[in-house]
Amino acid sequence: MKPLDGEKPKKQPSFKVEGSDEVIDFSKVKVEPLMEDQIDFDTFCEADFRAVKVKACEAVPKSKKLLQFTLDDGSGTDRTILSGIHKFYEPEELVGRTCVAIVNLAPRKMMGIESCGMLISAVHEEEGEEKLHLLILDDHIPAGAKLC
């Protein structure tokens, strides 16, 4: 997306989607304030962000919000990540997509299933309602590609 011609995003929060006539109005959107705490570069470098391909995705039984992803992270071994995004996505619409994950988080059990990483999403509030968008990358990016 690019700002509309002659407009500055802070004054006019509307953007035209490149290649279409669609205009997105962000005037009713609230985002969390930026964190005041800073981390050093070495700490940032400890997080291993990778492109991952969604091989399979299914709702976790007995959970209203969790989806279980089977991911190709480029290592040759499938990776399982659970994500609480079922309110925003149906499993079948995510299969085949390329997403962003942090792959070096310590494993965490949720609903008895070990989750090995975290998928990255963008969240905001719009007219009092939470919105979430899973970061979806260009399909030309191979599984395992390091994001930096």
* Range list of H helices, 25-91: 41-45
Amino acid (one-letter) located at 53: K
| Cα–Cα distance measured from residue 75 to residue 82, given in angstroms and rounded to the nearest whole number | 19
Give the pLDDT confidence score for residue 27 in this predicted structure. Answer: 84
Band (4; pLDDT cuts 50, 70, 90): very low
Give how far Cα 52 sits from Cα of 12, 49, 99, 110, 113, Å. Answer: 35, 9, 5, 21, 19
Q: Are residues 61 and 120 in the same domain?
A: yes
Q: State the Cα–Cα distance between residues 129 and 124, nearest whole angstrom.
A: 8
Q: Name the nearest CA neighbour of 90 among 126, 122, 54.
A: 54
Domain identity same for 20 and 60 = no
142 occurs within a structural domain: no
Write down the number of H helices and E strands in the chain: 1, 14
Q: Which range of residues forms the domain containing residue 20?
A: 1-30
Could you report the per-residue pLDDT of 99-121, keeping only the tens digit for each? 999 999 999 999 999 999 999 99
Q: Do 42 and 65 sit in the same domain of this protein?
A: yes
Whole-prediction pTM: 0.84
Same-domain pairing of 90 and 116:
yes
- The predicted-structure confidence for 30-84, as pLDDT tens digits, reads as follows 999 999 999 999 999 999 999 999 999 999 999 999 999 999 999 999 999 999 9
